[in-house]
Amino acid sequence: MAEMKAVLFDRFGPPEVLYVGRRPVPAIGPEEVLVRVHAAGVNGGDLHDRTGKVRLVTGRAFPKGCGIDFAGEVAEVGAAVRGVREGRRVWGLLGRRTGSMAEYVAVGPRHLAPAPENLTPEEAVSLLAGAATALTALRDKAALQPGERLLVRGGSGGVGSVAVQVGRLLGAHVVALAGGRNLDFVRGLGAEEALDHRTTPLSALGRFDVVLDTVGTEQARVRRLLAPGGRMVAVTVDFDRPLAGIATVLGSLVHGKGRIRVFSGNPDSALLAEAARLAERGDLAPVVDTVHPLDGVADAQRALAAGGVRGKHVVRVAAQTGWPAGPSQRA
């Protein structure tokens, strides 16, 4: 049986538990597609998986893989799959599984779409999860309207940096909170106001029609920033105090100002295709912080945990051929 390289861990713990091991190349069923992975994103959920903070969901079976998003090319197509051909450049997410930091992944066609034709795999995967999350949160859940005031907490991160762009695209007045050294970066993405979250008290921010929280802490206080009719969408909770975070979300359903909306990200191919079109039109720009080799995943997770990220840390899984040069590589 053919084998492939994959990032694995055999126990919960610090970044040092991660290693590049070998696994069988997935055998696809008739309704699956085998994708040769070129790049994968490093997400906050990867850190929670590795430390065991979500073990009630992921279980204790080892070894476990890393990563949920990928950009690559179709290597094999199941007999019952239509509209997907071998060699097509694609991007996608594994749904509710992990393991995209591997040379191959097996995935259903509803979880992938043609990748943006103007981006490299690393650029594409830096945009993917953030675009799917931001479009769902701001457009579908919050129904953000032109002229409304939007607050993005964590405006320089993997989701926040794309949410700032989506907010601008939807015509909102975007205010972003980020670290002091990243304020110009966030303004460059389209935020009218970028404020240092360490030195700006919440009480000084005013009121907002929509709040997008990518941080998870102090959600009860942040919720008080909503104007009448305001909507708050939280894409994470405080994993150091998960029960308190869940209680805040549930409590918002019955009292106080504004229900906190949450959702479990599982985008379909239509949403991924829409994000690709927005990238090809230049409405959404890639947000690569650093590209790491496959055996540098531990360093990538340390860098993400340290904070101050600008966009996404990305792992290059394999060299690619046939992809166009992205914006950062053009003369």
Task: Please give the structure tokens belonging to residue 221.
Answer: 């206080």
Residue with tokens 């126990």: 11
Strand partners, 174: 150
**CA–CA gap between residue 209 and residue 228 (Å, rounded):** 8
User: How many CB atoms sit inside 10 A of residue 55's CB?
Assistant: 12
pLDDT at res. 236: 81
| Calpha distance 240→218 (Å, rounded) | 12
Q: Do 123 and 91 touch, CB atoms closer than 8 A? A: no
- Residue for token digits 């106080």? 256
Query: Which pTM was predicted?
Result: 0.90
Q: What is the pLDDT of residue 92?
A: 97
d(CA 182, CA 194): 9
Instruction: DSSP letter for 294, please.
Output: G
Whether residue 80 contacts residue 104, with contact meaning beta carbons closer than 8 Å, is answered with no
Question: pLDDT at position 180, please?
Answer: 95
pLDDT at residue number 57? 79
> What distances in angstroms separate CA 83 from CA 2, 109, 124, 128, 309, one per listed residue?
27, 9, 21, 21, 37
Looking at residue 328, its pLDDT comes to: 42
The single residue listed with the structure tokens 């989506």 is 166
Q: What is the 3-state secondary structure (H, E, C) of 61-115?
A: CCCEECCCEEEEEEEEECCCCCCCCCCCEEEEECCCCCCCCECEEEECHHHEEEC
Query: What are the CA-CA distances from residue 150 to residues 13, 177, 250, 266 (Å)?
Result: 37, 11, 23, 24
pLDDT, block means (10 residues), the chain with 331 residues: 94 97 97 98 94 86 95 97 96 92 97 96 96 96 97 97 98 97 97 97 94 92 94 77 50 56 79 97 96 97 95 90 51 27
Only one residue has tokens 């943006």, namely 116
pLDDT at 264: 62
Q: Is 51 exposed, middle or buried (0-12, 13-18, 19+ CB in 10 A)?
A: middle
pLDDT of residue 66: 96
pLDDT of residue 207: 97
Question: What pLDDT score was predicted for residue 238?
Answer: 54
